[in-house]
Amino acid sequence: MRPEHLLTLATLIALAWSFGATLALLRSFKTPSWLGISYVAVSLSTLAAVLWLHSMLSPGRNSVVYLFTKLAAGDLHHVCAAGLGLCIGFGPALWPWQDQWQMPATSRWRWILKAAGLGSILCAFVFLSLLTLQEQVKPYVKRRSLASIVANPIGYTSQDGVKMEEYFDCDFHPLQIAIGPDGQLYATAYRGAAYQHGVVMRIGPDPATGLVHSTQVARSLGRPHGLAFYQGNLYVSRCGQYARAENGTLTGVNTGAVTLLKDLDGDGIMDYYDDIVSDLPGAQGPDPLHQNNGIVFSDAGELYITAGAHADRAPSLHPYEGTILRANADGSNLMVFARGLRNPFDVVIGPDQEVFCTDNDASDRRNGDELNHLKEGQHYGFPHADGIAEHPAGSISPLAITRTGTYQGIAYTDSPKLPEKYRNCLYIVGYGNGDVYRVRLHPEGASYRAEVSLFARVPAALDIAIDADGAFYVSCFHSKKIFRLTHREALE
């Protein structure tokens, strides 16, 4: 078991123990004993200590929220560790009720306790077996998330004729993904404690065995998000989090950059790093999850870069906040292409070399995440409006909005290997609900009308990439999975 699974185990043991001890104390509230009070205090202190340890090992992350996010995502490791923890914690939770064991054999309390104790032992054996044999069990277990159960009782779904399969079970948290010139999948990812080790992974079949495996091709990148290829070279959008203290004031440092990576010796590992764009805002508070995210190249070699705003309602700290930037392939001639965006997560070149992006709405308004058709020099409303809110004169309203999840990764395909209804469409990942949307664009004036429909549901999905053969790859950040969707007609 990994440390994060041991923490889940310990948390649920302490949680079950403290719940049972507290319940027993409340039962004997009229005649409380110091022993019972002490027992409750020790159990609650143990729970607090486990949560404190979790926060120390993962600074900046709410351990309770993280734990339940893992459980909601249906992660088999965490679900089994949590179940085993509840069963083990059931033992000390029953201790205050030990006097009931001495009651006559006909007492219903005695039989209830015996049944509960036996049930916890049997369940503990089942969860322990699943943890031990999880690699053998996984192919027969249908992964579910609580959100997907509510939204869709059947679970993972895709359109008729589209086959969905788990492509790779990662030992890292995949972020954004792209297809490389070698036809293999590349992913930016977080590794290490508190997601502090940013890497780029190559994922594809091993030539010797045919089994899908991963190779770390770049490391020590801070917070790498977007990645793109141009003329055989890899480019990564990345940043750090760093504040400088001067004269009693803390000031966030502009750590955002787009880095060119090259493999000079041909061993498949990047050994040349060069920031072609630097001094981007990066990740600064009060919303430090916003940074320079997705990047993409046009056929003409123009590099487009997304840059998030640091807050919902605050003066900009940097002229590039809340924008889409454009530069030459070597990073020169950097300029603001479009403004008025809050946290554009991904950007793509669509039909006719037009530019599209997803944009997250303001946290305190929840007006809906946006799909935007970007035009040079235009303003897209933020911070004055977003989503369904009426946009002021002079700004551009979104093509499409979602309020049931978030718009994150976006991709476009015109692969002739796909049936006509799946070609020339944008595909957007909704992180909050796992929905993958197909967006057919109908020309309308100088822009388009978007027709949005559900293409698939992949809980915990974050980004999407599509190869030349029409295979769709979806990254799942929290569950650490890569899924592949293929159409039967694309296989012929």
pLDDT in tens, 328-345: 999 999 999 999 999 999
Helix residue spans in 159-291 (DSSP H): none
**Which range has the worst mean pLDDT, 29-43, 136-150, 216-230, 385-399?**
136-150
Return all residues near 231 (Cβ < 8 A) that are at least 6 apart: 301, 329
Predicted pLDDT of residue 148: 46
The confidence score (pLDDT) of residue 13 equals 82
Residue type for position 179: I
| Residue, of 187 and 83, whose pLDDT is higher | 187
When mean pLDDT is compared over 68-72, 143-147, 181-185, 284-288, the highest value belongs to 181-185
CB-based contacts of 177, cutoff 8 Å, min separation 6: 185, 186, 187, 188, 227, 409, 463, 464, 465, 473, 475, 482
Percent of the chain exceeding pLDDT 70 equals 81
pLDDT in the model for residue 351: 94
- For the segment 259-288, the average pLDDT, to the nearest whole number, is 90
What confidence score (pLDDT) does residue 158 get?
67
Asked if residue 401 has pLDDT above 90, the reply is yes
**What is the model's pLDDT at position 98?**
57
Mean pLDDT, residues 240-260: 86
Asked if pLDDT for residue 9 goes beyond 60, the answer is yes
* Spatial separation of the C-alpha atoms in residues 256 and 310, rounded to whole Å: 13
Q: In this model, does residue 61 exceed pLDDT 80?
A: no
| Segment among 49-63, 127-141, 216-230 with least mean pLDDT | 127-141
Which of 373, 366, 356, 357 has the alpha carbon at shortest distance from 312? 366
In angstroms, how far is CA 69 from the centroid of its own chain?
Answer: 10
- Residue with more model confidence, 193 or 265: 265
Output 375 or 406, whichever has higher pLDDT.
375
Max mean pLDDT among 73-77, 459-463, 465-469 falls in 465-469
Nearest CA to 205 out of 176, 182, 232 is that of 182
Q: Cα–Cα distances in Å, from 26 out to 32, 35, 405? A: 8, 13, 41
**For residue 472, which phi and psi values (nearest 5 degrees)?**
-100, 135
CA-based nearest residue to 275, from 332, 320, 353: 332
Task: Please state, rounded to an integer, the average pLDDT across all residues of the chain.
Answer: 83
Beta-bridged to residue 360, according to DSSP, are 343
Q: Which two tokens stand for residue 468?
A: 């030349």
pLDDT greater than 70 at residue 326: yes
Beta carbons of 157 and 205 less than 8 angstroms apart:
no
pLDDT of 254 higher than 50: yes
Q: Is 375 strand, coil or helix?
A: coil
Average pLDDT rounded to a whole number, residues 417-438: 90
In this predicted model, which residue has the larger pLDDT, 321 or 138?
321
Q: Which residue has the higher pLDDT, 258 or 313?
A: 258
| Dist CA 380 CA 440 (whole Å) | 21
Distance, CA of 239 to CA of 294 (rounded, Å) = 12
Q: Which of 296, 389, 384 is nearest to 342 (CA)?
A: 384
Which tokens is 379 given?
Answer: 């303003």
Alpha-carbon distances, residue 25 vs 31, 89, 111 (angstroms): 9, 17, 21
What would the CATH number be for the domain defined by 147-491? 2.120.10.30
141 pLDDT band, cuts 50/70/90, is very low
Alpha-carbon gap, residue 33 to 36, rounded angstroms: 5
**pLDDT single digits (tens) 142-196:** 444 444 444 444 345 666 678 888 999 999 999 999 999 999 999 999 987 666 7
Confidence (pTM): 0.72
Domains of the chain by residue range: 3-140, 147-491
pLDDT digits (tens, 9 = 90+) for 111-122: 666 676 677 778
Burial of residue 229 (number of CB atoms within 10 Å: 0-12, 13-18, 19+): middle
DSSP 3-state assignment of 272?
A: strand
Interatomic CA distance for residues 465 and 481, integer angstroms: 14
As a whole number, mean pLDDT of residues 91-116 equals 61
Give me the helix-helix angle, 63-72 and 3-27, nearest 10°. Answer: 100
Give me the mean pLDDT over the 481-490 stretch. Answer: 83
Output the pLDDT for position 375: 96
Question: Which range (235-244, 257-266, 300-309) has the least confidence?
Answer: 235-244
Which has the higher per-residue pLDDT, 110 or 486? 486
